[in-house]
């Protein structure tokens, strides 16, 4: 090669290297500007240069980098979109201001498309804006569907309730195995009088509204405001009159027609409103009808069954059935026989009743299951089953026993559930087991009786037993004192006896004879004070009780409602005094505060010092929205996720699982 040719090559290489250094410097400058967010360069110059590049006119022999070619292509697309009629012409100001940033962002987007997080944080006009601020801005513009804390909480509660509801249906195992599903409710021969059948829907609704009756279901009979219109025999009406029951209560007005017509029912009413009579009278009438049609003989029966969670409640219901049956017998009707099947009572005394055939059985789940397994009784003819205090039956562990009992039924039966505290989760569970049930509600589930004056006092733990004597002077006897702990019951009994107070006590550790003596002597007025644990708080009827004292606050607000419900019964006024202290559960204290507010009672200032997370759910008039309470226990002071009852049950289940795991560990 000649010397001239070598010089030409060297000159070309030198130009190339110089041009290459210039381009690298330009790229470094652009990168530095992009990192610093300096996009506000001379827009007119940039625009003219970009348009010139977009036209494809380059100096001959000039080097065009790949990045520059991409920018030219993007600029051409942007220009076409900018002046496209489908998008509409954009303002010159907007196009000039956004052009540089759009071009850089789109070109860098291609180059760094493999790392979008780096693009979000380092590219474009938001290069100096943190990710948190960018997300906040997007939320303001509703670009992100962000859920509120309330929505998240509702989703969690819905998931938890769905997990709780995944229980086996409360039905016979044989029916579940065979896939037997009853579509229609049972029918009876009882009918409304023609004048009540002819009532218009508006008149029926007005009558329910007058008595604050809320119903849910299909083809619900109209409420009846007198016992005569319910077509009871004259001896039954005479018995009710002798008990000073001249007009049905709201739960009886609607509940009795529903049950008499053969419908499955869930009855919810506050304590002392006559729920026992609402399910006892239909059982007696059904048994009377069957006995008149064809008398029972040995080995037959029962026609109906009432299951109670405690022995004392079962005995009280049994005695009520006997009284109605005796009134019918005195009025010339056939004899109706009933037996009581509870633990601690020998069945030898009732074998003569079983030998004649039994119409009605009142029992606790354990003893009833034992008698069915031994063949002492059978449910071949049973058409009626009532679960009194149904929520307590399911909560305290009788669910499996009830499912076993139902496996002895041979055909469809009418199922009736009653309680003063029926949380939503129990209602949903029960409705899945009933046939087109009718829900009759005359008060909020878990609400306190409005006839009770509730007083809450802050008393130090060590001063409570001494303060009892002062509280006992508020009202004349009889008085009931409730405590959570058996040892506290025994201590109070010893203290009051030393002070000369006529008192008796019952709790689970006492044998049946002691419990029956205590209940009998207290009911007959021989004793002034009854000291008990919560076994005496469910359904027991003491019409003359003037005062209930809660020695401590129960662990569940449902138990509080049942405790104070021993007074203020049948329209009478009673007093309930509750001791609270720093050992009381904060969630239960909040539930107590809302029960007091709901019943328009005085709220002690100490309860207002507790932070209440439910304040944000208050209605415009300042009252609490009762629909946002706990769906598990019915408390208004907490939500489902903070439910102490649910937490306690979960701990018990975990402990049982650990014990089972340890037992199987070889």
DSSP assignment letter at 447: P
- Give me the percent of the chain exceeding a pLDDT of 90: 29
**Which of the two residues, 255 and 34, has the higher pLDDT score?**
255
**Which of the two residues, 653 and 57, has the higher pLDDT score?**
653
Say if residue 478 is preceded by a cis peptide, omega within 30 of 0: yes
pLDDT surpassing 90 at residue 496: yes
* Whole-angstrom distance, CA of residue 239 vs CA of residue 241: 5
Whether the Cβ atoms of residue 211 and residue 463 lie closer than 8 Å to each other: no
The whole-number pLDDT of residue 306 equals 95
Whether the Cβ atoms of residue 74 and residue 107 lie closer than 8 Å to each other: yes
**Which of the two residues, 311 and 116, has the higher pLDDT score?**
311
The whole-number pLDDT of residue 107 equals 45
pLDDT surpassing 50 at residue 87: no
Q: Which residues pair with 505 in a beta bridge?
A: 531
Task: Count CA atoms within 13 Å of residue 512 on its CB side.
Answer: 10
pLDDT surpassing 80 at residue 90: no
The whole-number pLDDT of residue 164 equals 57
Mean pLDDT of 90-97: 45
| Residue-range domains of the chain with CATH | 12-140 (no CATH), 191-441 (3.40.50.300), 452-650 (3.40.50.300)
Tell which phi-psi region holds residue 71, choosing left (phi > 0), alpha (psi between -120 and 50) or beta.
alpha
**Which of the two residues, 79 and 513, has the higher pLDDT score?**
513
Whether the Cβ atoms of residue 442 and residue 418 lie closer than 8 Å to each other: no
The whole-number pLDDT of residue 117 equals 43
**Which of the two residues, 45 and 478, has the higher pLDDT score?**
478
**Which of the two residues, 662 and 660, has the higher pLDDT score?**
660
Tokens of 358: 């039994």
The whole-number pLDDT of residue 558 equals 82
Mean pLDDT of 593-614: 85
**Which of the two residues, 468 and 53, has the higher pLDDT score?**
468
Mean pLDDT of 486-513: 91
Tokens of 639: 């939500």
The whole-number pLDDT of residue 386 equals 94
Which pLDDT band, with edges at 50, 70 and 90, does 1 fall under?
Answer: low
pLDDT surpassing 80 at residue 574: yes
**Which of the two residues, 286 and 82, has the higher pLDDT score?**
286
3-state class (DSSP) for residue 378: coil
The whole-number pLDDT of residue 110 equals 46
* Whole-angstrom distance, CA of residue 38 vs CA of residue 327: 100
pLDDT surpassing 60 at residue 488: yes
pLDDT-wise least confident of 143-147, 407-411, 444-448, 645-649 = 143-147
Which pLDDT band, with edges at 50, 70 and 90, does 659 fall under?
Answer: low
The winner for highest mean pLDDT among 382-386, 403-407, 465-469 is 382-386
Over the Cα atoms of the chain, what is R_g? Answer: 39
* Whole-angstrom distance, CA of residue 247 vs CA of residue 338: 27
3-state class (DSSP) for residue 307: strand
Tokens 């606790």 sit on residue: 364
Angle made by CA atoms 30, 33, 39, in degrees to the nearest 5? 100
**Which of the two residues, 615 and 209, has the higher pLDDT score?**
209
* Whole-angstrom distance, CA of residue 167 vs CA of residue 429: 8
The whole-number pLDDT of residue 421 equals 74
* Whole-angstrom distance, CA of residue 185 vs CA of residue 628: 33
**Which of the two residues, 535 and 562, has the higher pLDDT score?**
562
Mean pLDDT of 42-48: 45
Measured in whole angstroms, the distance separating CA 388 from the mean position of its chain's CA atoms is 19
pLDDT surpassing 70 at residue 616: no
Which pLDDT band, with edges at 50, 70 and 90, does 98 fall under?
Answer: very low
The whole-number pLDDT of residue 48 equals 47
pLDDT-wise least confident of 43-57, 185-199, 393-407, 555-569 = 43-57
- Give me the percent of the chain exceeding a pLDDT of 70: 70
Mean pLDDT of 291-317: 89
Check the CA dihedral 630-633-634-637 and report its sign. negative
Kindly report, residue by residue over 102-132, the tens digit of the pLDDT: 444 444 444 444 444 444 444 556 666 777 6
Mean of pLDDT over the chain: 78
The whole-number pLDDT of residue 559 equals 85
pLDDT surpassing 80 at residue 366: yes
Whether the Cβ atoms of residue 537 and residue 482 lie closer than 8 Å to each other: yes
Which pLDDT band, with edges at 50, 70 and 90, does 36 fall under?
Answer: low
The whole-number pLDDT of residue 355 equals 83
Q: Strand pairing of 414-419 and 214-216? A: unpaired
**Which of the two residues, 56 and 163, has the higher pLDDT score?**
163
* Whole-angstrom distance, CA of residue 418 vs CA of residue 173: 23
Q: Strand pairing of 438-441 and 414-419? A: unpaired
């Amino acid at each position: 090669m000649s010397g001239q040719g070598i010089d030409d090559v060297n000159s070309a290489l030198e130009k190339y290297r110089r041009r290459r250094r210039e381009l690298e410097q330009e790229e470094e400058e652009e990168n530095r500007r992009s990192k610093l967010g300096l996009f506000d360069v001379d827009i007119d110059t940039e625009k003219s240069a970009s348009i010139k590049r977009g036209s494809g006119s380059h100096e001959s022999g000039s080097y065009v980098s790949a990045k520059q070619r991409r920018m030219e292509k993007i600029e051409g697309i942007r220009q076409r979109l900018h002046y496209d009629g489908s998008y509409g012409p954009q303002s010159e100001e907007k196009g000039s201001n956004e052009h540089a940033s759009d071009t850089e962002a789109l070109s860098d987007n291609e180059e760094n498309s493999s790392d979008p997080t780096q693009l979000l944080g380092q590219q474009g006009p938001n290069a100096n804006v943190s990710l948190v601020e960018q997300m906040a801005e997007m939320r303001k513009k509703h670009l992100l569907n962000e859920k509120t804390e309330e929505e998240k909480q509702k989703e969690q509660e819905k998931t938890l309730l769905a997990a709780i509801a995944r229980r086996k249906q409360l039905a016979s195992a044989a029916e579940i195995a065979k896939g037997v599903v009853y579509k229609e409710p049972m029918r009876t021969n009882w009918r409304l009088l023609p004048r009540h059948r002819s009532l218009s829907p508006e008149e029926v609704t007005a009558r329910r509204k007058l008595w604050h009756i809320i119903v849910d279901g299909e083809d619900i009979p109209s409420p009846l405001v007198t016992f005569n219109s319910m077509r009871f025999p004259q001896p039954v009406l005479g018995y009710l009159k002798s008990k000073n029951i001249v007009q049905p209560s709201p739960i009886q007005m609607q509940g009795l027609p529903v049950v008499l017509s053969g419908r499955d029912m869930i009855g919810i009413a506050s304590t002392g409103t006559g729920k026992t009579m609402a399910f006892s009278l239909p059982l007696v009438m059904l048994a009377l009808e069957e006995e008149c049609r064809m008398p029972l003989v040995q080995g037959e029966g029962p026609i109906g069954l009432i299951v109670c969670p405690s022995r004392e409640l079962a005995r009280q219901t049994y005695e009520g059935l006997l009284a109605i049956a005796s009134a019918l017998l005195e009025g010339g009707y056939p004899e109706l026989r009933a037996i009581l099947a509870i633990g601690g009572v020998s069945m030898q005394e009732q074998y003569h009743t079983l030998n004649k055939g039994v119409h009605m059985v009142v029992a606790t789940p354990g003893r009833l299951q034992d008698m069915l397994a031994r063949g002492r009784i059978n449910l071949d003819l049973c058409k009626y089953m009532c679960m009194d205090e149904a929520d307590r039956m399911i909560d305290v562990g009788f669910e499996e026993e009830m499912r076993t009992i139902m496996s002895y039924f041979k055909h469809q039966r009418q199922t009736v559930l009653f309680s003063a505290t029926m949380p939503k989760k129990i209602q949903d569970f029960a409705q899945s087991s009933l046939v087109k049930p009718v829900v009759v509600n005359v008060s909020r589930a878990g609400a306190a009786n409005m006839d009770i004056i509730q007083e809450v006092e802050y008393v130090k733990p060590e001063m409570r037993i001494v303060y009892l004597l002062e509280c006992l002077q508020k009202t004349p006897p009889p008085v009931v004192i409730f405590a959570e702990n058996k040892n506290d019951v025994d201590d109070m009994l010893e203290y009051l006896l030393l002070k000369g107070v006529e008192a008796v006590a019952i709790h689970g550790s006492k044998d049946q004879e002691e419990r029956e003596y205590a209940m009998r002597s207290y009911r007959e007025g021989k004793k002034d004070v009854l000291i008990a644990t919560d076994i005496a708080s469910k359904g027991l009827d003491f019409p003359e009780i003037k005062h209930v004292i809660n020695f401590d606050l129960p662990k569940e607000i449902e138990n509080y409602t049942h405790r104070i419900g021993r007074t203020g019964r049948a329209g009478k006024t009673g007093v309930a005094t509750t001791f609270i202290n720093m050992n009381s559960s904060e969630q239960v204290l909040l539930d107590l505060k809302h029960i007091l507010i709901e019943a328009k009672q005085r709220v002690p200032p100490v309860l207002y010092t507790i932070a209440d997370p439910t304040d944000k759910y208050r209605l415009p008039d300042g009252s609490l929205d009762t629909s946002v309470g706990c769906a598990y226990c019915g408390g208004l002071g907490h939500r489902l996720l903070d439910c102490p009852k649910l937490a306690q049950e979960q701990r018990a289940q975990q402990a049982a699982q650990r014990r089972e795991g340890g037992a199987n560990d070889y």
